[in-house]
Copies of this chain bind each other. A is one copy, B any other.
Amino acid sequence: MISRDTCVARDLVDPLRGFRDRFVIPEGIIYLDGNSLGPMPRNAAAVLNRTIEQEWGHDLIRSWNSAGWFDMPVRLGDRVGALLGAAPGQTLVCDTTSINLYKAIHAAIGLRPDRSVVIAEDESFPTDLYIVEGAMKSAGRPMQRRLIGTDGPSIDALLDRDVAVAVLSHVNYRTGELLDMAAITRQLHDAGALVVWDLCHSIGVVEIAFDRHAVDFAVGCTYKYLNGGPGSPAFIAVAKTHQAAAQHPLSGWWGHAAPFAFDRNFRPDAGIKRFLCGTQPIISMRGVDAAIDAMEGVEVAALRQKSLALTELFMSRVAELLPGLDIVTPRQASLRGSQVGIAFDKGFAVVQAMIERGVIGDFRAPDLMRFGFAPLYVRFADVWDAADILASCINSEVWRDPRYSQVAGVT
C-alpha cells in the first residue's frame, strides 16, 4: 500500500536525488510547471554573471573570439544533440522554436519538389500550425495542409504520395500523449515523405534517437525540461544527409559559407550552419550552457524512468482521491511524456487556488489543468502532496471564491 511515507522512502533511494540540489526551488513550492519554464539551475547565476561582467563588461568585443561567443550555436547545438541521439554537426542552438520550425518546414518542402501536401496536427501547439501556413505560403508553389484530428483522420488516412512532410509533436502539449517516433518516421519514409518533429515537450525527459530513427528534422525549445531560462534560444536538428540540399530563405550572414568574407551573394555553409541566420542573444544562450552543465552525469534513460514513475504515481493517486476526474493523459507508460493533463470545467480556478497553496501547475483553455513532472527536481513526496492539494481544492469547491481570475503561464 502506497503512503506518503513510502514516497519519502522512495525519494531517499532515488538515484537522481542529488540533482534537486542543483536547482533553485523556492521554499514551500512544489513546481509542476517545468514543462513551461524550467527552474534556475544553481550554477546559472555564476555562469551568467561571468558572461555579463567579465566577457561583456571587461573583455568587450574580444569575447566574440576569446569567450567563444561566435561558436556557441554549434557548440551548444552539439550538447543538445547528445540529448537527441544526434551525432555532432547536426544540431544548432539559435533563434526561436517558431523560426526554426519555419526553416525546417521550408527546407523539407524544398526537398520534395514534386509533392504538395504538408500534414500537421489539429491539436498541436498553435505556432506549429501557424508556421506551417507561413511556410506553405512562401514555398514558391501551391501547397495544401492536411490535419490529423484527435478523433480522426489519422496519419494513415492522410498519407499518400502527395505528402512532402509531416510536422508532428513528439509529446502533445495538452494531453501529454507521446507519439511513436520510430514507427511514424518509418511510415512517413515508406511513403516518400519527410518528418519534422517538434520536441518541445520531450527534450530532456524522453529518450530520443534522432540518428537511429533516421529523423529528418527536429526543433524544440531549451527552457522547459532543459531549464535554459526564460525564452532561451531554441534548437534545430537537420540530418547530415539533407544538409547540402536543404534550403530556407532566412539567409542571414551567420549561415554563409564564409561570414567574414563579406561576399555580395549568399552562398550557404555546406553543413548545419546554413540553418543559422543572424547574431544570437549571447547572455540568454549562456543559460543553455549552464543548464546542460547542471545535467552533467545523468542519462536520459534514468530521467525517463523516474518521469514515468512520477506521472504514474500522480495519476493513480488522483484516480484514488478523485474517482471520475477526467485524466486526459494516457495511463500506458509508452504513450505518455512527462506531464499529466486533467480536463475539469472549473480547472482555471483550481489551478489558481493550488498556486496559492504552493503547487504551481498551469491551465490551458478551455478546461485543462496541466502538471509537469521534471525528474531532476520533483520528488515522489511532492507528487503525493500535490495530489492531496488538488483533491482538497476540488473537494472544497474553491471556484466559489471570486479571487481566482488571472491566467498564469505561457507555453
Contact = CB atoms under 8 A, between A and B. Distances in A.
A252 B137 contact: no
Interface in A184-240: 221, 223, 229-234
A313 interface: no
Interface stretch (A4-12, A128-136, A155-163, A392-400): A128-136
Contact of A130 (B64, B106, B253, B260): B253
B410 A127 contact: no
A262 B364 contact: yes
Interface in A115-160: 122, 125-127, 129-131, 133-135, 137-140, 147
Interface string A313-333: 000000000000000000000
A300 interface: no
Interface in A45-63: 45, 48-49, 52-53, 55-58, 60-63
Nearest to A37: B61
B262 A408 contact: no
Interface stretch (A13-21, A282-290, A340-348): A282-290
Q: Which of A229, A231, A360 has the most CB of B within 10 A?
A: A231
Given A129-B264, A265-B129, A98 B252 contact: yes
Interface stretch (A81-89, A272-280, A302-310, A383-391): A272-280
Contact of A99 (B33, B45, B48, B278): B278
A407 to B, nearest CB: 7
Interface size class of A (residues with CB under 8 A): 35 or more
Contact of A102 (B230, B249, B253): B249
Contacts of A265: 129-130, 133
A204 B253 CA distance: 24
Contacts of A254: 98
A253 B126 contact: yes
Contacts of A232: 281, 283
A406 interface: yes
A64 B253 contact: no
A31 interface: yes
A229 B281 CA distance: 8
Contact of A249 (B134, B229, B264): B134
Contacts of A255: 130
Given A99-B252, A134-B251, A252-B130, A282 B61 contact: no
Interface in A353-374: 355, 360, 362, 364-365
Question: Across chains A and B, which 3 residue pairs bring their CB atoms closest together, nearest first?
Answer: A96-B278, A98-B278, A98-B252
